[in-house]
Amino acid sequence: MLRLDNLNGMKHSDPITPILRVLDDLDLIPAISAVALADPDAPGAAITAGTVLLGVGVGTTAAERLVAGASGSSAAALVLRPPDGPDSAVARALAEQARQAGVNLYWLADSVSWDAALHRLMEHLAPLALNDGSTDLADLAQTIASLTGGLVTIEDTSARVLAYSRSNDEVDDLRRLSILGRSGPPEYLALLREWGVYDRLATPEDVVEIEPHPESGVQRRLAVGVFAGQRQLGTIWVQQGPQPFGTHAKQALLGAARVTAAHLIGGRAASSSVTERGGTQRGGAERGRWDAPGSDGLLLRLLADPDEASVLARTGLGRAAEHRCLVAVFALDASDDPIQDRAATDELGSLVAVQAAAFRRSAMVTRLDGRIYLLVPSVESIRAALPTVRQAAGSAQRHLARQVIAALGPVVDSADQAPRSRSGADLALTTAGPTDTSPAPRRRSTPLVITFDQARPELIVAAAVQAVAARPDLADPAVGASAGTAEARTLLHYLDYGSDVAKVANLEKVHVTTVRHRLRKIVESLDTDLANPDQRLAMQLQLRAELRTYRMARK
């Protein structure tokens, strides 16, 4: 008989890992369909095939009944505490009884609490049964947990558990028993009805707060019904963990309910389900979708195929397609691992989708070319959408521990003009980092959210500099010869910062006298009159263009 507290060659920081390794060695993992608490008072009760039975608090006599009852069942395994220790006569007798009965019996070490065993088994085994090979709903539960700061369970209208987030040591009895039994325990469901929770959950988009009831083993919760119109499809429960709920937890839960509704209707997502994690689009663009059910990648096609934008917009948004809207783009800093980047981008899309759904039910999110795009319909100004974009970027950065940059395109008159807003968002995103034409890289706080209006001046200057660089026949050779010198850099600072000599000295880390000397020297060599507005602008554009060319040549 294998002992879980003394397996040769198995040294793990997690004390429950050996039981998972043992089951794997016996080829039982594919057969496991459930985890349940063993009932010694009804050892012969029908047991679902592949169930792992946990004998919590079972004594010697009860253990004998369980072994006998499990002998004729299809249980995958029975886990017990070894009576009087694994080497005792009683334990050896039970082990022999199990061997003869064909029962897979495992001892759980005294050093491992049943709580720890339950947590680890639920996380490793139950998802195999709950998600039927699909991780979309489980991923969504984890996303909701990240945004709310709690422990999430998604249930249907019969209180059957469909998916749940990862647990920690703060899990209460209601959550533990719900996940173990794959359904809300009747005694707790009765309490929730008595407290009026289900009556309140029958109202669409009403986030219900449930105060803690320590005497009943129930910690503080938020809950919301999942609806399609007036028809309730299920419920999302969020148990408070070690920390209080975040400031925007209720808002995030409202968005999560809208997103979850699409999962429960047809297995696709309205704004968040990753139904395609890879593949290619025309032109080799990456694909990934969090679009409306049945839209077949509507937003992806809308942004990638402007020629069909009018038809696509009306197909997916109906009358909302005629209202003003904008497109926002989210990007992560690149790492050396493209696979990790792709997974992080998927997660970014899920986080953005839930936040966006709380703001606009018909908001759509898609992945394209390694970025996440958000279409915000029925919005009159950038200012109206800015808080949602900032909140989504901030939540994503905290959760992913990666730099997140977001940009909002201009507001356009209708959804068929979304490609134009997307173009503006992409352009604004290019100004978020150091530019080749800037005299010195700018350090920005993160996550950075920039709007097209904010980026417009820089974009105009960049276009002008690019035009100047494309006409070498107009360039002054003396300006080109000075590129890279301290004098040229000082002059550009002087022109960029409104002739503020003191500021230039601070930037260059030299005395103001040195700044004046450099300026006098280069102005004489270039033979220019900085008092003339045209000459001043022409010199500024030429210096930026030459500095851009100089930097590119040194790379």
pLDDT (tens digit per residue) in 144-160:
988 888 999 999 888 88
> Angle between the 249-266 and 338-359 helix axes, to the nearest 10 degrees?
100
pLDDT at 294: 33
Choose the weakest-confidence range: 13-22, 134-143, 337-346.
13-22
pLDDT at 436: 38
pLDDT at 274: 30
pLDDT at 118: 63
Choose the weakest-confidence range: 30-39, 212-221, 263-272, 385-394.
263-272
CA dihedral 109→112→117→118, nearest 10 degrees, is: 120
Closest residue by Cα to residue 307 from 425, 412, 419: 419
Could you check whether the bond before residue 447 is cis, i.e. omega within 30 degrees of 0?
yes
Strands in 221-228's sheet, in edge-to-edge order, are 161-164, 150-156, 231-240, 221-228, 208-210
Per-residue pLDDT at 549 exceeds 60: no
Per-residue pLDDT at 299 exceeds 80: no
Average pLDDT, rounded, for the chain: 75
User: Radius of gyration of the chain from Cα atoms?
Assistant: 31
Q: Rounded CA gap, 251 and 444, in Å?
A: 28
Q: Rounded CA gap, 137 and 160, in Å?
A: 14
Residue that is written with structure tokens 């993160």 in the block: 446
Average of per-residue pLDDT across 64-86: 76
Per-residue pLDDT at 319 exceeds 70: no
Residue 80 half-sphere exposure, CB side, CA atoms within 13 Å?
A: 30
pLDDT at 12: 34
Residue 269 pLDDT class (50, 70, 90 cuts)? very low
Better pLDDT: 5 or 43: 43
Average of per-residue pLDDT across 126-131: 39
pLDDT at 386: 93
Residue 14 pLDDT class (50, 70, 90 cuts)? very low
pLDDT at 22: 53
Tokens of 297: 């990648």
Average of per-residue pLDDT across 129-149: 70
Per-residue pLDDT at 406 exceeds 90: yes
Residue 501 pLDDT class (50, 70, 90 cuts)? confident
Greatest mean pLDDT range, 271-280, 316-325, 348-357, 531-540: 348-357
Closest residue by Cα to residue 18 from 122, 127, 118, 117: 117
Greatest mean pLDDT range, 58-62, 170-174, 371-375, 547-551: 371-375
Choose the weakest-confidence range: 110-114, 282-286, 308-312, 484-488.
282-286
Strands in 287-290's sheet, in edge-to-edge order, are 287-290, 364-368, 371-376, 326-332, 404-408, 448-451
Residue 316 pLDDT class (50, 70, 90 cuts)? low
Per-residue pLDDT at 69 exceeds 80: no
In this prediction, what percent of the chain has a pLDDT beyond 70?
73
pLDDT at 228: 75
Taking the CB of residue 432, how many other CB atoms lie within 10 A of it?
Answer: 20
Average of per-residue pLDDT across 361-378: 88
Q: Rounded CA gap, 74 and 53, in Å?
A: 11
pLDDT at 273: 31
Average of per-residue pLDDT across 511-533: 85
Distance of CA 329 to the CA centre of its chain: 15
**DSSP H/E element including 53:** strand 51-54
Q: Rounded CA gap, 174 and 239, in Å?
A: 9
Residue 116 pLDDT class (50, 70, 90 cuts)? low
Average of per-residue pLDDT across 204-227: 91
Residue 230 pLDDT class (50, 70, 90 cuts)? confident
Taking the CB of residue 521, how many other CB atoms lie within 10 A of it?
Answer: 16
Q: Greatest CA span in the chain, whole angstroms?
A: 104
Residue 329 pLDDT class (50, 70, 90 cuts)? very high
Beta strand segments in 361-496, E: 364-368, 371-376, 404-408, 448-451
Per-residue pLDDT at 554 exceeds 70: no
Per-residue pLDDT at 476 exceeds 50: yes
Beta strand segments in 369-503, E: 371-376, 404-408, 448-451
